[in-house]
Amino acid sequence: MTTAPKIQTRDTALGAPGADRLRITEIFFSLQGEARTVGFPTVFIRLTGCPLRCGYCDTEYAFYGGQWLAMDDILQRVAEFAPRYVTVTGGEPLAQRPCRDLLARLSEQAYQVSLETSGALDVSGIDARVSIVMDLKTPGSGEEQKNLYSNIAKLTHKDQIKFVICDRSDYEWSRAKFAEYKLDQVCEVLFSPCHGQLNPTDLAEWILQDRLPVRLQIQLHKILWHDARGH
């Protein structure tokens, strides 16, 4: 399969941290591979750093490094693509305090903005126009103990909760959490098979057998570009 070229903006010299700066791993234009806007051309802003170490993480390169970029420079890079959709991701974006300001400023530009977060950090204070896509970490991730369950009450119908499921045990755990927190009354729920660990067909059959009102999510970018960085 031919791999589509990564669309990347120019490099900027490493600067100093500050209230109007964020450490950025990459900014790129691709198709959204997950969640409600899957398949739509989207600008991704990947922030550097993460307090979690999930066993299946496919963005370990975002744990360290990156460049300190001024907020205005980030907004300019995004504007160069003239997008409709913008996703702020990581790493863990909320680990950087100015992330909330970035989300608000992106929303002011009339982009449809989403935030991908691990659910380990407080989601309070995020601009109401932003769609939050929040993980609940399964036992198979190795980071179940980091889940901040108080976040669930802060979500609304425009948000989504995602479970990355590694095996049948993870599925049973996720189904129990779905029932315990009545997640079908909170927002849309995504069950995603861990890439390379769980056959998507198996997960689909379990969902159907239990008549579980969740959306099966398969990572589109993994199908199109495998593990190529910047997609």
**What is residue 28's predicted lDDT score, i.e. its pLDDT?**
96
- On the question of pLDDT at 191 being above 70, the answer is yes
The fold of the 14-225 domain, in CATH, is TIM Barrel (3.20.20)
- On the question of pLDDT at 183 being above 70, the answer is yes
Nearest CA among 33, 183, 192 for reference residue 114: 33
End-to-end alpha carbon distance in the chain: 15
Query: Which of 10-19, 47-56, 74-83 shows the lowest per-residue confidence on average (mean pLDDT)?
Result: 10-19
pLDDT over 70, % of the chain? 90
Cβ atoms of 160 and 36 closer than 8 Å: yes
**What is residue 13's predicted lDDT score, i.e. its pLDDT?**
36
Helix H or strand E segment including 76? helix 71-80
Three-state SS letters, 191-228: EEECCCCCCHHHHHHHHHHHCCCCEECCCHHHHHHCCC
Nearest CA among 30, 108, 16, 187 for reference residue 46: 30
Q: How confident is the model over 158-169, as a mean pLDDT?
A: 98
**What is residue 88's predicted lDDT score, i.e. its pLDDT?**
98
Q: Which tops the pLDDT comparison, 220 or 102?
A: 102
Q: How confident is the model over 77-95, as a mean pLDDT?
A: 97
